[in-house]
Amino acid sequence: MMRTLLISLTVAAIGCIAGGVTYAEDARRGPILVELFTSEGCSSCPPADAWLRAIDASQPLPEQLIVLSEHVDYWNHDGWKDPYSSHPLTERQSDYEVILQEDSPYTPQVIVDGTSQAKLGDADEVRKVFEKSAASPKIPVRITSTSLGSGSVRVHVDADGRTTTHNADVYIAVALDHAESQVLRGENSGRHLVHTAVVVDLQKIGALKKGSTFSKDVEVKLNSPIDPKNLRVVAFVQEAGPGKVLGSALRKP
């Protein structure tokens, strides 16, 4: 019951943003990137996983919310190895902690547009974080084509950075649209967990120079086959650090 209430409050809080901000047609407005650092070995994470699924499904903002579930590996020693965990994602979170001046990584942690943390226990704070990101201009990022081959995904990415004043990196994330696990040991032993947008590969594919454009064909090798119906690809442009996300795009083949 408490988990359901938490999800309802935070989704409702985000939805209230639409009533407090004027949304004229503006090409500079774009998707908001929401990164959830999580683990199947963490008993506090299932409510956050459910929250991510809820906002992904409801899309409570005029701007599209693009979500990524990034499973870290530092819980794997505690009785259960998260099958979706990745050390590079742990390193990405650690880089955020340096920028955000956190003492150490923790789960669950929600990073919005690379610059702000959303504390899911505080609906008003969540609303303010999303309101800030919704008001921030974005650059256009597009995934103009995707194709899933034998053991790889081919993607074409375009980004228009002619209005940017800083150099930035361009990333591609390949994610499972839906994933489930029956946890047998650890803090979540006996629980059936459900995830959305589970990152299986995240890599930097190039650089966007300030005031310029970016266009590139990319092939991402996969460690295991993915059903085309269960695939989503996210591209985003982010200042170094990792810093502010300047723009993002989502495509489902």
Contact yes or no for 13/58 (Cβ under 8 A): no
For residues 111 and 120, give the distance between their C-alpha atoms in angstroms, rounded to a whole number: 11
pLDDT digits (tens, 9 = 90+) for 10-66: 555 555 444 333 333 344 678 999 999 999 999 999 999 999 999 999 987 777 999
Q: Which ranges of the chain have pLDDT less than 70?
A: 1-28
In angstroms, how far apart are the furthest CA atoms of the chain?
Answer: 52
Identify the domain containing residue 92 by its residue range.
2-251
The pTM for the full model equals 0.90
- pLDDT for residue 14: 55
Upstream peptide bond of 105 is cis (omega within 30 degrees of 0): no
- pLDDT for residue 149: 84
> Coil, strand, or helix at residue 226?
coil
- pLDDT for residue 150: 82
- pLDDT for residue 26: 42
- Tally of domains in the chain: 1
CATH of the domain at 104: 2.60.40.2060
Contact yes or no for 213/159 (Cβ under 8 A): yes
